[in-house]
Structure 1
Amino acid sequence: MSSPSTWVPRKRRGAEFFLTILAVTIGVMSYCAVGLGTEGRIPTGAMALAGGLVSLAVAAHFVIRRVAPYADPVLLPLVLCLNGLGLAMIYRLDLGRQQIDPDRQPFAGAQLVWTIVGLAAFSFVLVVVRDHRRLQSVTYTFGFAALILLILPLVPFISAGVINGSRIWIRLGPFSFQPGEAAKICLAIFFAGYLVVKRDALALAGRRVAGIDLPRGRDLGPILVGWLVSVGILVLQRDLGSSLLFFGLFVVMLYVATERAGWLVVGGLLFVSGAYFGYLAFGHVRTRFEAWLDPFGDPDRNGQIISGLFGLAHGGILGRGLGLGSPQLTPFSFSDFIAASMGEELGLTGLMAIIVIYGLIVERGLRIALTCRDAFGKLLAAGLAFSFALQVFVVIGGVTRLIPLTGLTTPFLAQGGSSVVMNWAIIALLLRISDQTRRPAPSVGPLDSDDETQVVKLG
């Protein structure tokens, strides 16, 4: 057995290749099952889709093999599986919606294009960011970029206006984009770089209440600024989901950096007060809370969540089968409520399997954070993994009435270009950090005679 000093971790690229092919096969077979369920035949473009997805997946695998050979071997297959299932379900919803209205625009083709763009962004991040620690040198640049991105939906001429009660989109010609998805990555980098420098001061304890060391009053400035930014998003953009995501990201990264549970207490109290303010100030936030507490009290207004709940009940334990349910009857079943669509056709069993895949992605991200050797990478990986976990919890929790609806998208499943592209970029950053973490440290050989002479002279 090799000694600990000479042990080198296995790259596991062969295992990644096998799992990648398996993940693509699941997506393609789901696409074929949709055609069999809805039309009684395999879709005519199944072979072309299979060839294209296999080519893209293998290309992404070889990019990892070339520029990040020690990266985590499980993340890429997990994400490809989710992305393939999302494409199959969106195609299934297109068929169902066209049965109701033949003139409705399909989304599956556009989602496939955005998946290609996302894989290109994934490869670009891996190739360009060869060392994640270099991002720390531009910490405040990313903070400024995040601020600009959050302001863009309020700028005239490019703002898409209020859509479904929120102002979170911009429009550039024929394309629309949600800047908050890119701001999430910029904020994670900014928070990681900032907290690495300030964590010693922020970790100092103040008063002890109920066994918890609360932070000192003089150190509350950063969290108050983060809270005010999240409240500003809630007030100006009327977006409860993004407000919760950004503030939760900052609080958890603050807790990871300082290891002080008091920050979680303060952050929780600030979030509850902000949510209560939103409930009192904005009608659409109040509507979502009322729909959460009693959706059947106003069936006309709460038809979306009621339809989603009936769809989940219709699916039962094992589901109706791909193409055999009626998920298209739920408004926004291809975006906000795609989890309900999955639950109707794949049942509780299939939906739990999807949640397990999400859990594995978060687990791999947190594992990367735990094993990372530098503080910046540790905080960045933890922040990215938590933002992913929080987004999944908020979306699926809203669909199942565990918490109020927030309007966020289900990563890699829901229709939406900006979400797909930015989430692929997050996976690329996690892989880059894991490659740096698992890569063996450079060995230091014995000094030769010339080196010993130099050491003596320096001594």
Structure 2
Amino acid sequence: MTASRLRQISLLLFSMAISFAAFFQMFERTAGSFPGSFAILLGVVAVMFLALWALLLRFQPYANQSILPCVLLLTAIGTTMITRIDQETGTAVGQRQLIWTCIALVVVGVLVIALRDYRVLRRFSYISMVVGLALLLSPMIPGLGREIGGARIWIGIGSYSIQPGEFAKIFLAFFFASYLFDHRDQLAIGGKKLLGMQMPRVKDLGPIIVVWFASMGVLVIQHDLGTSLMFFAMFVSMLYVATGRKGWVAIGFVAFAIGCVVAAKVFAHVGYRVDAWLHPFDSEIYNRYPGGSAQIVTGLFGLASGGMAGTGLGQGHPNLTPLANSDFIYSSVGEELGLVGLLAILMLYVIIISSGLITAMKIKDGFGKLLASGLVFTMAFQVFTVVGGITLVIPLTGLTLPYMAAGGSSLIANYILAGLLIVISNAANQPEPEVSSDTFQYEALAVLRDHELKERAKTPRTVSGGAQ
């Protein structure tokens, strides 16, 4: 085993050791013993992570190896906190989360084996658009869609609920990357300057207007500010990568800001979130139902009680916050791990995001560059909106924290996102094929011969002899 492979497996094993220590400490403090059922489940998950690492060595040998350990740690921290909350509420969400993790690892394993060349996704750009829009709008189908927490973004299958928007973002990323790659030259042409920025031409505003209307439609019909904002931000960021024009970013920001201001005035569910953000400690807004600020304030108190080092795993009261294992899991972790633990979590996200950005910069294929940047911007924006909403930087959006929040849809979709980044990084890190000196000489002679033939063709022939 080479030194690089040894470092890679060491990172993975080190992440597993930290994860096991977290589970062990939490169970000892809350239950007094380590349940056998959890030991078996954790063992299965560990074996599957090692199997996935082996598949990467076999089928994606040049792939980035820092993403997988970070994903493992984030999943372990989130599942530990979910299980810790189960100890207080008597639920079994943590066990289900481990089962969803196994399913996600199987899906990523199939992706690593089957998707040897990610560029094949470009052939299905319009199919991806249709599938993405169908998934996005499927909660509006009568009898299939479910409204939970005021947002109609779920579809029901028996006793289970699936959030199709999590998978829609991946298919729409395929379509956006393909469309912008094909039309990047037209979109990059600049128009008039405004405030020192080269603005796009008016006739090129069609795509961003269409996506803006689609995002506003999600906001109005499904009452989902988070998904609406995420899709529009993903498209605008990919548009900037494709064209390099800051004017697109300015137009996108102004357009969405106007849409949100109008929506806050017209639609009550959006206005409630803005009021709770601006005046969370107002007694009238705090006690208002629906749309009160009690959840936000309780989460802030949880963060404050954690302080710098936290109360310790199993020694806080995270279950006091509503949706503590999903929407507010960042607050729950902050109470028991403190500011130090939260910063460590953010660093794990930064490593994944920076790895994706490095991949986007290294890859020479334009489609791969756009796809990698779109996926990584989506994750970065999702982390920002969740953390920003909990800490009152921005209004709550209803998005979930990738890899940590409870829910199978979010977990599987974000594992697929990480798998795609890993596959693209394999192409970006592949060494250039070595070319021998003989090959260089042969190519040089071929170029000289072609040049000589062209020059001869340009020279007019002279007719020898006297009489015509």
TM-score (norm 1): 0.92
Q: Report the counterpart of residue 30 of structure 1 in structure 2.
A: 22
Q: Deviations over 1:249-307 (max 9, x none)?
A: 00000001100000010000101011112201221111111111111112223211111
The aligned counterpart of 1:276 is 261
Shift, 1:199, TM fit: 0.7
Matching of residues 208-223 of structure 1 within 5 Å: 208-223=193-208
Secondary structure class of the residue paired with 2:161:
strand
Determine which of 426, 432, 435 is the counterpart of 1:441.
432
Distance 1:418 1:53 in 2: 18
- Aligned pair partner of 1:178 in 136, 147, 163: 163
Mapping of 1:443-458 within 5 angstroms? 443-445=434-436
Gaps of 5+ in 1: 1-9, 99-104
Specify the SS of the correspondent of 1:318. Answer: coil
Equivalent residue number for residue 131 of structure 2: 145
Contact 1:28 1:49 in 2 (8 A): no
Alpha-carbon contact 1:142-1:189 (below 8 Å) kept: yes
After superposition, where does 1:86-97 map in structure 2 within 5 Å? Answer: 86-97=78-89
Preserved contact between residue 45 and residue 98 of structure 2 (Cα < 8 Å): no
- Which residue matches 1:3? none
For residue 175 of structure 2, what is the aligned residue in structure 1? 190
Mapping of residues 409-420 of structure 1, within 5 Å: 409-420=400-411
C-alpha deviation, 1:446, in angstroms:
6.0
Larger radius of gyration between Structure 1 and Structure 2: 2
CA distance in 1, matches of 2:163, 2:38: 31
Deviation string, structure 1 residues 103-149 (Cα, Å, up to 9, x no partner): xx320111111101111111111111110111112111111111111
Which residue pairs with 2:302 in the alignment?
A: 311
Instruction: Provide the TM-score with structure 2 as the length reference.
Output: 0.90
Structure 2: how far apart are the matches of 1:374 and 1:108? 41
The amino acid across from 1:72 in the alignment is N
Instruction: Provide the residue aligned with 1:4 in structure 2.
Output: none
Alpha-carbon displacement from aligned partner over 1:67-116 (angstroms, at most 9, x marks no partner): 10100010000100101111111100100223xxxxxx320111111101
| Equivalent position to 1:290, from 275, 278, 281 | 275
Q: Which amino acid aligns with 2:249?
A: L
8 Å CA contact 1:24–1:53 kept in 2: the answer is no
- Cα deviation for residue 46 of structure 1 reads 5.3
Q: Distance in 2 between matches of 1:156 and 1:176?
A: 15
Asked whether the equivalents of residues 82 and 94 of structure 2 are also in contact (C-alpha less than 8 Å), the reply is yes
Q: Comparing 238-247 with 127-136, which one deviates more in the overlay?
A: 127-136
1:164, distance to aligned residue in structure 2 (A):
0.6
* Structure 1 partner of 2:186: 201
Any conservation in 2 of the 1:333–1:340 contact (CA below 8 Å)?
yes
Q: Hey, what's the Cα distance between the residues in 2 that align with 1:174 and 1:115?
A: 19
The aligned amino acid for 1:349 is V
Letter paired with 1:55: V
Rounded Cα–Cα distance in structure 1 between residues aligned with 2:231 and 2:409? 17
Contact persistence 1:86–1:412 (CA under 8 A) = yes
Aligned ranges 1:94-173 → 2 under 5 Å:
94-98=86-90, 105-160=91-146, 162-173=147-158
Q: Which amino acid aligns with 2:61?
A: P
State the Cα deviation string for residues 323-379 of structure 1 (Å, max 9, x = none).
000000100000000000000000011011101111111000001001011111011
Greater shift after overlay, 263-272 or 433-442? 433-442
SS of the equivalent of 1:207 reads: strand
Equivalence for 1:39: 31
Paired residues of 1:91 and 1:108 also in contact (CA < 8 A): yes
Q: 2: CA distance between counterparts of 1:386 and 1:435?
A: 19
Alignment correspondent of 2:68: 76
d(CA) in 2 for partners of 1:175 and 1:14?
41
Work out which of the residue numbers 9, 23, 27 in structure 2 matches 1:17.
9
Say whether the 8 Å CA contact 1:399–1:405 is kept in structure 2: yes
1:48 aligns with 2:40: yes
- Are 2:339 and 1:348 equivalent residues in the alignment? yes
Cα–Cα, structure 1 residues 111 and 50, in superposed 2: closer, same or farther, change >3 Å?
Answer: closer
Tell me which amino acid in the other structure corresponds to 1:153: P
State the alpha-carbon separation in 1 of the partners of residues 142 and 275 from structure 2.
32
Check the 8 A contact 1:82/1:354 in 2, yes or no.
yes
For residues 42 and 261 of structure 2, the distance between their equivalents in structure 1, rounded to whole angstroms, comes to 49
Alignment CA distance shift 1:12-1:274 (3 Å): farther
Q: 2: CA distance between counterparts of 1:438 and 1:379?
A: 17
2:286 to 299, 323, 348: 299
Q: How many residues align?
A: 440
Asked if 2 retains the 8 angstrom alpha-carbon contact of 1:372 and 1:437, the reply is: yes
2:345 corresponds to which letter in structure 1?
I
Stretch deviating more after TM superposition (245-254 or 35-44) = 35-44
Give the secondary-structure state (helix, strand or coil) at the position aligned to 1:157: coil
- Residue 333 (structure 1) aligns with: 324
- Please tell me whether the aligned partners of residues 13 and 69 of structure 1 are also in contact (alpha carbons under 8 angstroms): no
What does residue 233 of structure 2 align with?
248
Moved over 4 A (4+): 445-448, 454-459
Counterpart in the other structure of 1:66: 58
Q: Which amino acid aligns with 1:95?
A: Q
**Equivalent pair of 2:263/2:270 in contact (CA under 8 Å):** yes
In structure 2, C-alpha distance between the alignment counterparts of 1:422 and 1:11, rounded to whole Å: 33
What code does the residue aligned with 1:83 have? T
Confirm or deny: 8 A CA contact 1:30 1:88 kept in the other structure. Answer: yes
Are the equivalent residues in 1 in contact too, given 2:45–2:101 (CA < 8 A)? no
CA root-mean-square deviation: 1.9
Deviation at 1:166, TM superposition (A): 0.6
SS in 2 for 1:404: coil
Pairwise CA distance, 1:12: 3.3
Question: Contact conserved, 1:11 with 1:70, CA < 8 A, in 2?
Answer: no
Equivalent position SS for 1:296: coil
1:227-246 aligned at under 5 Å gives the runs: 227-246=212-231
- Supply the distance in 1 between the matched residues of 2:391 and 2:417 (Cα, whole angstroms): 26
Q: Percent sequence identity over matched residues? A: 43
